Amino acid sequence: MKLHTHGSHTTPNQSRAFVTRQFPVAPFKAWRRVAPAPNIMTGTVGPKAPRRPSRCHIQSMNVEVFRNPDSSRLVPSLSQPQSFYPLASRGFTLHTTPAALNLDHLNTVFVAVGFPKRDPAKIRTALDHTDAVLWVEHTKSSGKPVAFARATGDGVFNAIIWDVVVDPSFQGIGLGKAVMERLVAVLLERGIVNIALYAEPRVVGFYRPLGFAADPGGIRGMVYSRKQQKKR
């Protein structure tokens, strides 16, 4: 399951959550408009800044969706999302550090959901540069992830969610939802409200109940291409 919508307006007390992800299909970017928006450089609330996000060296993308940090769907407990309670009773454990993560098995999950196989050394480097990571293991799969997601960013204003995957053998029981809820909660706990991800159109509906929304308002994400640069 590769996890990665219609714009709406919220109350003046809500701020825009800027939320992102990689996929090789036709790009279509989504936005949520809320007001007033925090200044992304200072964190202060003021006049809405121009909606001109800059994205560089993104390998590929589909739909960019945004989360409203004041959404009522935010879980009250940052240590354990409500959706994870029944899963914990079934032998699943939620981890917030990659220390015991089996990278070879993570690669297996990536391939199983359609991601390209990655060099384990490069995965480790990516994790070293990751600001937040969430993964789930089952009691019968020591160190082997059955669900995974991570976020990168500047550590203050912006974060991008990547690599949201669930082992096909464990899909449909709420693992993806639990991982996403906890990951967003971790970022919000750190004061990061601009959270972004890219999604394939077929899985955009997965994010809507979690507080994400897409707005085809004419703003498009852009992917760097050397071939495109040569056309100029």
207 assigned to active site: yes
CA distance 204 to 2: 10
Residue 190, classified by CB atoms within 10 Å of its CB into exposed (0-12), middle (13-18) or buried (19+), is middle
From the CA atom positions of the chain, what is the Rg in Å?
Answer: 17
CA angle 109, 202, 37 (to 5 degrees): 100
> Residue 33 carries which side chain, given as an amino acid letter?
R
Please pick, among 85, 198, 207, 224, the residue that the annotation labels catalytic. Answer: 207
Locate the DSSP E strands across 41-107.
63-67, 92-95
Catalytic residue annotation:
207
